Homo-oligomer: A and B are copies of this chain.
Amino acid sequence: MRATLLYEAGDVRVEDVPDPQIQHPTDAVLRIVRSCICGSDLWPYKSQTYTDTPRHMGHEFLGVIEELGSDVREFTVGDVVVVPFVYSDNTCTYCRDGLQTSCTHGGTWGVNGVDGGQGQYARVPQAQGTMVKLPVDEHSEFLPDLLTLSDVLCTGYHAAHTAGVRKGDTVTVIGDGAVGLSAVLSAKLLGAERIILMGRHRRRTDLGVEFGATDVVAERGEDGVARVRELTGGEGTRTVLECVGLEAALTQSAGVVRDGGTISRVGAPQYPAIPFAFPEFMRNITLTGGVAPARAYIEELMPHILDGTIRPGRVFDRTIALEDVASGYQAMDDRLALKVLIAD
């Protein structure tokens, strides 16, 4: 089959790799119908040093079941399913707590002999726990929206959920990438009344407004903090959703959060330590969030897509074929595309 391999920064290729086979009775094999490129794929795309054992890329995908291991029940060959960006058994104590990212039998796509998601097929480990059946066929117009259940929508939702966003809240969302926009959508879904989106890319923040942002603050750093405080009677907001992953975004979060409030971080950390010491202690700031256990949210969020309440797939502003994946990485890295959908 064809799959996406990263050899070094800027060098991503589609090449022939072995077709996946059932290796364990808990496996399934999917024919991938839709996948996409994640903001987090850009970190290795920008930084990886050359390797002759290239990394298999992609961790967001949905597809059709081609083959099922003997232990996988409740699914049929031909089912359309989505998988979250980590696999998990969905039965261990962590999974039962809704923390499938800490599953004792879980793991990551594209490493340790597991396929990546940007390819034609993938073996799904722990398929029974990992796959979620989609009540649509493989030509459904909802596929881009349903694909966001794999990562980006659930990551935004994790931010809003762990921050404790509730009906009537005022929320600040930091970052106008696809995760930030998904966080806006999620905050709205949880009943937030006022959603301040901090971002400076007009085309993105415009979509944020369509998703539910009531205010857009384009300024960054101290100016941005001052503007949010001005909008909130000087106090800042009770919840802040940090969807960037840079230290400057954490500092900005501390600047705009109300005393006693909560910052939820879902941007993959590109910092060595959290710069919250004495002042944030005196202000009783809580820091929560982390990598999203997407699997925990899929059943909860899917109905909102299927009934048309939310259209999270609108974050995809470019569609490419698998063979053109390199151009997709380039477009996202150049910020010419917000998020790239892969569909053949």
Contact = CB atoms under 8 A, between A and B. Distances in A.
A58 interface: no
A50 interface: no
Given A259-B102, A284-B101, A286-B286, A276 B273 contact: yes
Interface in A145-192: 162
A162 B268 CA distance: 25
A99 B259 contact: yes
Nearest to A282: B291
A54 interface: no
Number of copies: 2
Interface string A278-296: 1011111111111101000
B277 A272 contact: yes
A275 B275 CA distance: 9
Contacts of A281: 265, 268-269, 289-291
Nearest to A260: B99
B269 A277 contact: yes
Contacts of A269: 277-278, 281
Interface residues of A, number: 34
Contacts of A288: 286-288
B284 A289 contact: yes
Nearest to A286: B288
Of the candidates A259, A271, A274, A284, the one having the most CB atoms from chain B within 10 angstroms of its own CB is A284
B280 A284 contact: no
Contacts of A291: 281-282, 284
A272 B285 CA distance: 16
A160 to B, nearest CB: 15
A97 interface: yes
Interface in A95-153: 97, 99, 101-102
Interface of A: 93-94, 97, 99, 101-102, 162, 235, 259-260, 265, 268-269, 271-278, 280-291, 293
Closest 8 CB pairs of A and B: A284-B290, A102-B259, A273-B273, A286-B288, A274-B274, A99-B260, A287-B287, A281-B290
9 contacts: A93-B235, A99-B284, A102-B283, A102-B284, A272-B277, A273-B275, A273-B276, A281-B291, A286-B287
